[in-house]
């Protein structure tokens, strides 16, 4: 395994670059979109609630590979130059955002209703109350489940391998098929994924601890 | 307390993973090392790895649930020649990427899966004599500016199959083109159709098979390499490979081989991969 890692190190690094960029882009994108749809589903306005619900249920219940394939195979007819990396990352963003929306919604709903009522009766608008009172509390609550989603996101980025997206898994496939050393290669690939996801896990745990003490004061 | 808990866990996990994989990788060898001849005589059952997404060579017929094609017929004819008419021939679908690991792990006894005999592969497995002469070519959408492999210049994208030696070749013949490798033929063709690449490269027989699915695409520029297909078996299976070669000679002599060639390639104009000549 060491020899595979040293011989093909540039290829692994190339793969790591793509996996990392896809993950970071998808993390930011899915957090924003997820938050928007979470605010939709808890909104007092019914049309927004319905739109949010439809979005979440559709993309939460379709396999990621299908969503990603859709953007790789079908969408280029309408949007030219949608390559494997872009298509895969868009797929990741949409798929993950549905889960993040559900997570954040649960967090918001776990904040006591009295908080919103108190804020409103103090003269805050709905948006102000959400922005300054409810969301900060909700985000603290959802950090652990959100961390899970992020770790999943990094692992799920291996979907790029099916779209010739040059990620770690794709490079692994190529190395395995050139060297025929399948076990060693996938072992190396697994380790590199661990190197990406483990620090993320620990960062989330650190944040969890840090924030929960903050909330207890 | 909490802190030590923190530091120990990653090492423990990685260690566990390593041990597990070492154990697992040690398991597969037994079956692959057993003498195929003796085992098939005993169980009356032989397992072949074939493609199931490649028209003309090995394609899953959705109506019957059977894999059909040139490779499948050759494998059946060879098995019957070696082990008698009543032998059970089982087919396992493989891709260019999975075929060697599956053979080496002992999941399959032999491979007839559009596989070119190459020096690199010879280091890993054994090959029979050539049973089909293919050559690498490119396929493009009709009306494309690309007329041959020479037109694959900078800025063009070529689709290929992971684990096939056509991707290694295309890097030699069209070093400027960007190569995108997909997992199987069907996926690569779908990617070509949706415009993810300007051309698809593979062996001519495989491309002609795709062409039949969709006449809007055409094989252009002729072949630029020779790709002799061989049946693959594990190292140490000398007796089995000798028997395969003998069986191939026999079916070539009695006309069975030519019948199979005609059945699959008789209608493909300008293409003949028959080894009898």
Per-chain mean pLDDT for chain B: 88
Whether residue B7 contacts residue A184, with contact meaning beta carbons closer than 8 Å, is answered with no
Would you state the pLDDT for residue A159? Answer: 95
- Residues 6+ away with beta carbon under 8 Å from B211: B139, B217, B218, B219
Find the mean pLDDT for residues B232-248: 94
Instruction: List the domain range (segments joined by +) for residue A196.
Output: 2-216
Would you state the pLDDT for residue A181? Answer: 85
For residue A208, the tally of other CB atoms under 10 A from its CB is: 15
Answer whether residue B101 shows pLDDT above 70: yes
Q: State the burial class of residue B118 (Cβ atoms within 10 Å of its Cβ: 0-12, 13-18, 19+).
A: middle
Q: Is B182 on the interface with A (CB under 8 A)?
A: yes
Q: Is B200 on the interface with A (CB under 8 A)?
A: no
Residues of B with Cβ-Cβ distance to A173 under 8 angstroms: 97, 162-163, 181, 183
Q: Do A80 and B195 touch (CB under 8 A)?
A: yes
A216 or A184, which is more confident = A184
pLDDT band at B270 (very low <50, low <70, confident <90, very high): low
pLDDT tens profile A133-191? 999 999 888 988 999 999 999 999 999 999 999 999 999 999 988 888 888 999 999 99
Chain A: closest CA distance from residue B132 (Å): 23
Would you state the pLDDT for residue A140? Answer: 87
Q: Is A171 on the interface with B (CB under 8 A)?
A: no
Whether residue B30 contacts residue B161, with contact meaning beta carbons closer than 8 Å, is answered with no
Report strand pairing: B136-141 vs B217-220: antiparallel
Task: Give the rounded distance of the alpha carbon of A59 from its chain centre.
Answer: 13
Place of tokens 């949010």: A52
Would you state the pLDDT for residue A139? Answer: 86
Nearest C-alpha neighbor of A177 from the set A4, A3, A2, A19: A4
pLDDT tens profile B45-71? 999 999 998 889 999 998 998 999 999
Enumerate domains of chain B plus CATH numbers.
Answer: 31-133+229-265 (3.40.190.10), 136-220 (3.40.190.10)
> Rounded distance, CA B95 to CA B108, Å?
13
Q: From the list A73, A176, A187, which residue is nearest B194 (CB)?
A: A73
pLDDT tens profile A75-99? 988 887 889 999 999 999 999 999 9
pLDDT tens profile A5-54? 889 999 999 999 999 999 999 999 999 999 999 999 999 999 999 999 99
Whether residue A192 contacts residue A168, with contact meaning beta carbons closer than 8 Å, is answered with yes
Nearest C-alpha neighbor of B163 from the set B131, B139, B185: B185
Answer whether residue B111 shows pLDDT above 80: yes
Answer whether residue B163 shows pLDDT above 90: no
Would you state the pLDDT for residue A217? Answer: 38
> Rounded distance, CA B194 to CA A73, Å?
5
CA distance to A73, B6, B23, B27, per residue, from B98 (Å): 24, 38, 21, 18
Would you state the pLDDT for residue A86? Answer: 94
Chain B: closest CA distance from residue A175 (Å): 9
Nearest C-alpha neighbor of A22 from the set A166, A142, A127, A122: A166
Answer whether residue A213 shows pLDDT above 80: no
The SS3 of residue B193 is helix
CA distance to A199, B219, B256, per residue, from B160 (Å): 36, 14, 33
How many domains are there within chain A? 1
Poorest-pLDDT segment among A77-81, B76-80, B233-237: A77-81
- Name the residue of chain A whose CA is nearest to B194's CA: A73
Which CATH number does the domain housing residue A201 bear?
Answer: 1.10.3720.10
ipTM: 0.79
Residues of A with Cβ-Cβ distance to B100 under 8 angstroms: 177, 180, 182
Whether residue B58 contacts residue B75, with contact meaning beta carbons closer than 8 Å, is answered with no
Whether residue A104 contacts residue A96, with contact meaning beta carbons closer than 8 Å, is answered with no
pLDDT band at B93 (very low <50, low <70, confident <90, very high): very high
pLDDT tens profile B3-29? 445 555 667 777 777 777 666 655 545
Residue A201: phi and psi, rounded to 5, are -55, -45
Would you state the pLDDT for residue B211? Answer: 86
Task: Give the rounded distance of the alpha carbon of B175 from its chain centre.
Answer: 24
Place of tokens 């390559």: A83
Task: Give the rounded distance of the alpha carbon of B247 from its chain centre.
Answer: 21
Task: Give the rounded distance of the alpha carbon of A43 from its chain centre.
Answer: 23
Q: Do A84 and B6 touch (CB under 8 A)?
A: no
């Amino acid at each position: 395994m060491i020899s595979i890692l040293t011989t093909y190190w540039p290829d692994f690094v190339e793969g790591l670059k793509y996996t990392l960029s896809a993950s970071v882009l998808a993390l930011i994108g899915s957090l924003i979109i997820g938050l928007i749809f979470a605010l939709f589903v808890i909104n007092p306005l019914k049309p927004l609630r319905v739109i949010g619900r439809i979005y979440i249920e559709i993309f939460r219940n379709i396999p990621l590979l299908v969503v990603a394939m859709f953007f790789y195979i079908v969408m280029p007819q309408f949007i030219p130059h949608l390559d494997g990396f872009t298509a895969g990352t868009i797929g990741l963003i949409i798929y993950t955002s549905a889960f993040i929306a559900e997570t954040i919604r649960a967090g918001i709903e776990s904040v006591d209703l009295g908080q919103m009522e108190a804020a409103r009766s103090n003269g805050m608008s709905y948006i102000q109350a959400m922005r300054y009172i409810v969301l900060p509390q909700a985000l603290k609550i959802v950090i652990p489940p959100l961390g899970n989603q992020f770790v999943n996101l990094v692992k799920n980025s291996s979907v790029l391998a099916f779209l010739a997206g040059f990620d770690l898994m794709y490079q692994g496939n190529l190395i395995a098929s050139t060297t025929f050393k399948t076990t060693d290669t996938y072992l190396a690939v697994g380790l590199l994924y661990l190197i990406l996801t483990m620090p993320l896990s620990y960062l989330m745990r650190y944040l969890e601890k840090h924030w929960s003490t903050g909330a207890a004061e | 307390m909490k802190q030590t808990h923190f530091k120990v866990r990653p090492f423990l996990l990685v260690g566990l993973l390593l041990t597990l994989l070492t154990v697992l990788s040690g398991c597969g060898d037994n079956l692959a090392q057993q003498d195929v001849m003796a085992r098939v005589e005993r169980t009356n059952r032989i397992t072949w790895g074939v493609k199931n997404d490649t028209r003309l060579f090995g394609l899953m017929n959705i109506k019957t649930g059977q894999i059909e094609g040139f490779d499948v017929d050759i494998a059946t004819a060879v098995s019957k020649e070696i082990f008698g008419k009543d032998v059970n021939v089982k087919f396992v679908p493989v891709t260019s990427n999975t075929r060697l690991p599956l053979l080496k792990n002992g999941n399959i006894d032999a491979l007839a899966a559009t596989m070119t005999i190459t020096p690199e592969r010879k280091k890993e497995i054994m090959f029979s004599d050539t049973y089909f002469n293919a050559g690498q070519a490119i396929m493009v959408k009709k009306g494309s500016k690309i007329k041959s492999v020479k037109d694959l210049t900078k800025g063009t994208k070529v689709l290929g199959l992971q684990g096939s030696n056509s991707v290694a070749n295309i890097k030699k013949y069209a070093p400027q083109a960007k190569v995108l490798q997909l997992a199987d033929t069907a996926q690569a063709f779908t990617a070509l159709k949706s415009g993810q690449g300007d051309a698809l490269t593979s062996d001519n027989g495989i491309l002609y098979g795709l062409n039949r699915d969709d006449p809007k695409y055409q094989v252009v520029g002729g072949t630029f390499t020779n790709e002799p297909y061989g049946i693959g078996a594990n190292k140490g299976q000398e007796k089995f490979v000798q028997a395969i070669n003998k069986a191939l000679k026999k079916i070539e002599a009695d006309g069975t081989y030519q019948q199979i060639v005609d059945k699959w390639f008789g209608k493909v104009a300008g293409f003949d991969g028959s080894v009898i000549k």
